Copies of this chain bind each other. A is one copy, B any other.
Amino acid sequence: MEPLLSALSSCTEALLAEAAGPVAVAAAGRAGVASRPCPCPLSHGDCSLNRLLSRLLTARRSLEICLFAFSSPQLGCAVRLLHRRGVRVRIVTDAQYMGLQGSQIGLLRQAGIQVRHDQESGYMHHKFAIVDGRMVITGSLNWTTHAIQNNRENVLVMEDAEYVKPFLDEFERIWEEYNPINYRFFSQRQ
């Protein structure tokens, strides 16, 4: 039940390395050596993106993600790590945004993660994730590098069942609605 409100900015490699063990240590080398500061323009201490990652990385059984736009390599790396650990990851995203340059969706699918998308003219504009059915992470933030580095955003982390349940119900509803068996590949004329 900790609301997090701030512009997000971070280099998260150290945190991912800590969570991942040997898998990400090579990539995390830059941030781990105090005498050789990371050359990237992001902050490296306690910050909102690191706190968001640390919440995500507590997942042990399931992770539902429902995002309009997903292009952050750090967050994509964390999600693939959870998938490799055996966490059941399911992603719903917006059809028009998932193919844009820099999107993580292709990499997540390549990794074997289930992804479904809308088929509507409007946007699938949600921005939430549910960890182990007990914690919802929601707010204004799309998981994009641009938003993390530049925007004024808010992220809420809530464990109250009264808030988690409607998001879980919404996820299951649209997961079924966007089941590929329902896709219409050709226009249906009467």
The complex places the Cα of A3 from the Cα of B146 at a distance, in Å, of: 29
Q: Is the CB of A3 within 8 A of B153?
A: no
Say yes or no for A61: interface residue by CB 8 A criterion: no
Q: Is the CB of A124 within 8 A of B138?
A: no
Contacts of A128 in B (CB 8 A): 140, 154
> How many A residues face the partner with a CB closer than 8 A?
37
**Restricting to A126-141, which residues have a CB under 8 Å from any CB of B?**
126-128, 138-141
**Restricting to A34-84, which residues have a CB under 8 Å from any CB of B?**
68
Say yes or no for A174: interface residue by CB 8 A criterion: yes
Say yes or no for A85: interface residue by CB 8 A criterion: no
Chain B nearest CB, measured from A98 CB (Å)? 14
